[in-house]
Amino acid sequence: MNNVFVYCEITEEGHVAEVSLELLSKGRKLANELGIKLEAVSIGDDLSHVPEEVFPYGVDVVHLADDKRLFPFTTLPHASIITKLFEQEKPEVALFGATSIGRDLAPRVASALRCGLTADCTSLEIGDHTEAKAGKTYKNLLYQIRPAFGGNIIATIINPDTRPQMATVREGVMKKEVAENAKQGIVQMIPVEEFVKPEDFVVEIIERHIEAQKINIKGAQIVVAGGYGVGSKENFNLLYDLAEVLGGQVGASRAAVDAGYVDHARQIGQTGVTVRPKLYIACGISGAVQHRAGMDQASMIISINTDPAAPINAIADYYINGTVADVVPRMIKYYKQNSK
């Protein structure tokens, strides 16, 4: 009762999704701070391997709803199961990945439970809140921090009176790390028949084409990212060359994706992925807040831009005044000659 719950999404390949492991890592820290347990819940078909995948992250209890009809994901049965489970277990906090599945499922569950939900949080913290009017103080609330209004403001949201306090978080925002002193937790099987209704299965999946994730810019230590200022698809090849010699990945701003220079899978920022590499090379990127939200935690930022007033320069460690076509080949040349 009153623990931290994480919905652990099952991928196409049948494993617990990266974003769910990241949330378990964050959930473990929140549970420690609150002095409560961490519980995971997975719904799907043939979940026997799930416990061994989640226990290293400090999960105390894992709930499994294992049934042939529960994979691939459809909204209604998953929502019925999570809603009933939460009514029974009364979680304090419930976290979902801000994925196609999490953003479909979490609002439905929050509505059924009449509790608050905050989408796409970029940070989760524990803190107190005093209601000035009523003079009432709430202890240990979950601060759900997210950009709003097109990324122009950062809002801290709380749910003082309703439980669970629900939030979704995008992949790559929280750090995945195994827990110290992780133990073998408890496995609880959910009696699926009692949790779903026949009418939960009215929506029928006719066809699916899901690709395995090929591009992994999220985990890259070095990201060479291009914006509209790169100028063309051909110039983007220079970025691929630089990324290859440095052992990094190519990312892009939304403007470059919209211009058709590069695929959406490489988009970094509020509507793309969040990266935290040790080096971020921003080529022809002006640095709108939406973009910075996805990369400002990079350890080092180099900006290559012809505009000295571009906002990105203000957060860059190095600013190179020049065009991508001039600068990038020189970087490649020096690196090839001088690295071991």
Partner 1 sequence: MSFRIIVLAKQVPDTRNVGKDAMKADGTVNRAALPAIFNPEDLNALEMALKVKDSIPGAEILIVSMGPGRAAEIIRESMYRGADGGVLVSDRKFAGSDTLATSYTLSLAVKKLAPYHLLIAGRQAIDGDTAQVGPQTAEKLEIPQITYAEDVVAVDSSSITIKRRLERGIEVVKSPYPCAVTVHGSAAPCRPRNAKLVMKFKHARTLSELQEETKDYTEMRADRPYLNILEWSVDDIQADVEKLGLSGSPTKVKKIDNVVLQAKESRQFSSDEKDIDQLMKELIASHIVG
Q: Give residues 21-80 in contact with partner 1 (rule: CB under 8 A).
A: 72, 74-76, 79
Closer CB to partner 1, residue 184 or residue 205?
Answer: 205
Determine the interface stretch with partner 1 among 20-28, 46-54, 232-240, 314-322 (rule: CB under 8 A).
314-322
With respect to partner 1, which residue has the nearer C-beta, 68 or 114? 114
DSSP string for residues in 88-150? HH--SEEEEESSTTHHHHHHHHHHHHT--EEEEESEEEEEEEEETTTTEEEEEEEEEEEEETT
Assess 12 for contact with partner 1 (CB under 8 A). yes
Q: Single out the residue of 253, 249, 241 nearest to residue 336, CA to CA.
A: 241
Of residues 162, 188, 216, 237, which one binds partner 1 by CB under 8 A?
162
Q: How far apart are CA 110 and CA 101, in angstroms?
A: 14
310 φ/ψ angles, rounded to the nearest 5 degrees: -60, 135
CA torsion 118→124→126→127, rounded to 10°? -70
Contact call for residue 176 and partner 1 (CB under 8 A): no
Q: Are 128 and 143 in contact (CB under 8 A)?
A: no
Of 51, 156, 228, 297, the one binding partner 1 by CB under 8 A: 156
Residue number, 180 or 211, with CB nearest to partner 1: 211
**Is residue 49 exposed (0-12), middle (13-18) or buried (19+ Cβ within 10 Å)?**
exposed
Q: Nearest distance from residue 31's CB to partner 1, in Å?
A: 22
Which C-beta is closer to partner 1: that of 59 or that of 159? 159
CB of 264 to partner 1, least distance (A): 9
307 binding partner 1? (CB under 8 A): no
Told to check if 249 binds partner 1 by CB under 8 A, we report no
Q: Does 117 bind partner 1 (CB under 8 A)?
A: yes
Q: Quick check: 100 and 208 in contact, CB under 8 A?
A: no
Dist CA 129 CA 331 (whole Å) = 51
- Bridge-based pairing of strands 123-131 and 136-148 is antiparallel
- If one asks whether residue 151 binds partner 1 (CB under 8 A), the answer comes out as yes
**Which residue, 12 or 87, is less far from partner 1 as judged by CB?**
12
Looking at 3, 20, 25, 118, which residue binds partner 1 (CB under 8 A)? 118
Residue (235 or 313) nearer to partner 1, CB:
313
SS3 258: helix
Kindly calculate the radius of gyration of the chain based on its CA atoms and give it in whole angstroms. Answer: 22
Site for partner 1 in 209-238 (CB under 8 A): 209-213, 222
Size of the site for partner 1 (CB under 8 A): 85
Which is nearer to partner 1, 61 or 83 (by Cβ)?
83
Shortest distance in whole angstroms from residue 78 CB to partner 1: 12
CB of 106 to partner 1, least distance (A): 8
